[in-house]
Every structure is written in C-alpha cells, then in structure tokens.
Amino acid sequence: MKSRRVVLLLSTVALAIASLSGPALADPPPGNKNINPFTFDCTRGSDSRHFVAVGIGQSAQIAGQVVGTTEVVMFVQIIDHGVVVFDIPGLATSDALWTCTIGEFPDVVTRVIITPRA
C-alpha cells in the first residue's frame, strides 16, 4: 500500500515538473487509460475552490488540466506527512498560490498556481 502511494505521489510530482517547460495541457482524451484524476480542495485567503484536474500519469509533469476549463494547475510545493517532498525555490511564498488538499491523498498538502489566473 505504501509503495503504491509513493508511486502515485511521484507520478503527481512528475506531472507537475514537465508542464513548467511546455505550453498548457490540452484535455487528455477521455478514453486514455493513463489519465489520473485528482480532486482538489483549495483556499487562498478567504477564497476557496473545489475542482478535479487530470493528467497523463505516466508522463513527467507537475501540472494538470482543470476539468471543464482552460485552466492548468501547477504544483509549486508538495508536503507529505509534514515533509516537503517537492519545492520550486522562490515560488512557495507567492501570494498568488492556493493551498490545496488532494482527496486521493489526504495526508498531502500542496501549494499550487492555477493559470490563467482569474
């Protein structure tokens, strides 16, 4: 169980890393068996958001497409059980970041940028 969690967490981190160097993701085809959906509950100040983002789990990226929008969620920091396992130096303190929990990983807290920013 723990090894599966680590693999899924690393896939999520990989999802986020690749997107920083490329354009926004297009919606992955719904029939693609490699799609990984993640449910986000996020806050930023007094604002809150709930959404599902998807990405191709086998690709190396640190972003996902927000379902039903043109927005992309990009990971800036990932904290698992209180330990920072991923961090983009200099971005984790930005006021534009959302602090999110991921329904599929209840012990993981993420700091993300959602683009385009509204």
Q: Say yes or no to pLDDT of 115 above 60.
A: yes
Domain count, the chain: 1
What pLDDT, on the 0 to 100 scale, is given for residue 34?
A: 77
- Taking the C-alpha atoms of residue 6 and residue 8, their distance in angstroms, rounded to an integer, is 5
pLDDT bracket for residue 19 (50, 70, 90): very low
Which pLDDT score, from 0 to 100, does residue 10 have? Answer: 44
Which residue segment(s) compose the domain that 88 sits in? 2-115
Mean pLDDT of all residues in 13-31: 46
Q: Could you tell me the pLDDT band of residue 94, with boundaries at 50, 70 and 90?
A: confident
Tell me the pLDDT of the chain averaged across its residues. 78
Cα–Cα dist 50/41, whole Å: 5
Distance CA 92, CA 103 (A): 21
Model confidence at 12: pLDDT above 60 = no
CB 34 within 8 A of CB 56: yes
The set of residues, in sequence order, having a beta carbon less than 8 Å from that of 109 and lying 6+ positions away, is 78, 79, 99, 100, 101
Give the model confidence (pLDDT) of 32-79 as tens digits.
777 888 999 999 999 999 999 998 767 667 888 899 998 999 999 999
Confidence check: pLDDT of 103 > 60: yes
